[in-house]
A = this chain, B = another copy of it.
Amino acid sequence: MVIRVTVWGENVHEQINKVVATVYPRTMHVTIADALNLDPDVRAGTATLQDPEHGLTAERLAATDVLIWWGHKVHGEVDDKIVERVVEAVHGGMGMIFLHSAHFSKPFKRLMGTPCNLSWREAGERERLWVTSRNHPIAAGLPDHFEIDMEEMYGEPFGIPEPLETVFISWFQGGEVFRSGVTYKRGAGNVFYFRPGHETYPTYHDANVQRVILNGVKWAHNPAPRIAHPSAALNRPVTATLEPIVERGPRLHHDGQAGYR
């Protein structure tokens, strides 16, 4: 079964910042998609902020098994309606991976319910990621640690909920640590946050980083059919209970009436 991936890129710094354009001449999202497409079980396309509906129409999301999100400079320009559409797709079972500065993206904050803040420093320092959950599928094929020579520092406390599992913790040259790989389930959808990827460094050309993203795609993918109305609140009427009961007391709703929400 082929996993259909959409890599969403904000696509701003690639267009206006010479350093970024030099590091990623094909843009970050295309670089990530290209690496994924080397795997015969994955078929990755891209979408960007500048596309109509940010490239995330209902049809596109319905045809996306795993959505990858990279954004940084213009989180605020993402339309709230599209954010809700993405969140609902996750609730219905779409997998989603957030990369690096997407910690402050609207859909990540919306799915976490927490500040998602951290401390940071741009100094091109060394990052070393340690695997904290042995044999976790997201760490498949990796050594117990790997390094990225130059990266932005993200430091704890990281304002996230306690993860389902912590897969990577980073060491930084300047003295900080960070939970760099964390998993969640939101509704029926699997969510993975992965820290590396500052746009002025060649992180997404790194083989270990590419492998984590590929592993993350396979982990986040759920072959079950998407839940059609993931927020529906089903009334189970007294006339059709699983066990026999006799109705008692007053009601607010008459038969067949929708609940408040």
Using a CB–CB cutoff of 8 Å, the interface residues on chain A facing chain B are 13, 17, 19, 72-76, 87, 91, 93, 101, 104, 110-115, 117-125, 128, 130-135, 137, 140, 144-145, 147, 150, 153, 155-159, 161-162, 164-166, 169-177, 179, 184-188, 199-201, 222-224, 227, 230-238, 241-243, 245, 247-253, 259-261
A246 → chain B, closest Cβ, in Å?
8
> Which of B72, B120, B164 is A165 in contact with, Cβ under 8 Å?
B164
> Which of B19, B200, B224, B232 is A117 in contact with, Cβ under 8 Å?
B232
**Would you list the 8 A-B pairs with minimal beta carbon distance, nearest first?**
A175-B242, A124-B249, A124-B248, A135-B188, A174-B241, A115-B231, A175-B243, A113-B113
With A173-B243, A174-B236, A235-B121 given, is the CB distance from A135 to B248 under 8 Å?
A: no
List the B residue with the shortest CB-CB distance to A184. B161
Cα A241 to Cα B123 in complex, Å, equals 10
In the complex, which residues of chain B have a beta carbon less than 8 angstroms from the beta carbon of A113? Answer: 87, 110-113, 186
A190 → chain B, closest Cβ, in Å?
9
Cα A147 to Cα B118 in complex, Å, equals 20
Known contacts A119-B236, A135-B227, A171-B171, then 9 further A-B pairs from the complex at CB < 8 Å, ordered by chain A residue? A124-B249, A137-B222, A150-B249, A153-B236, A159-B231, A162-B165, A162-B166, A174-B236, A177-B177
In the complex, which residues of chain B have a beta carbon less than 8 angstroms from the beta carbon of A110? Answer: 113
A94 → chain B, closest Cβ, in Å?
10
In the complex, which residues of chain B have a beta carbon less than 8 angstroms from the beta carbon of A170? Answer: 177
With A157-B132, A236-B121 given, is the CB distance from A176 to B144 under 8 Å?
A: no
Counting every copy of the chain, the complex holds 4
With A175-B242, A185-B162 given, is the CB distance from A119 to B233 under 8 Å?
A: yes
The SS class assigned to the A binding surface is loop
In the complex, which residues of chain B have a beta carbon less than 8 angstroms from the beta carbon of A125? Answer: 245, 248
Contact status B175-A156, CB under 8 Å: no
The interface centre, meaning the residue of A73, A93, A251, A261 with most chain B CB atoms within 10 A of its CB, is A261
With A115-B91, A132-B179, A243-B175 given, is the CB distance from A236 to B161 under 8 Å?
A: no
With A170-B177, A253-B122 given, is the CB distance from A133 to B157 under 8 Å?
A: yes
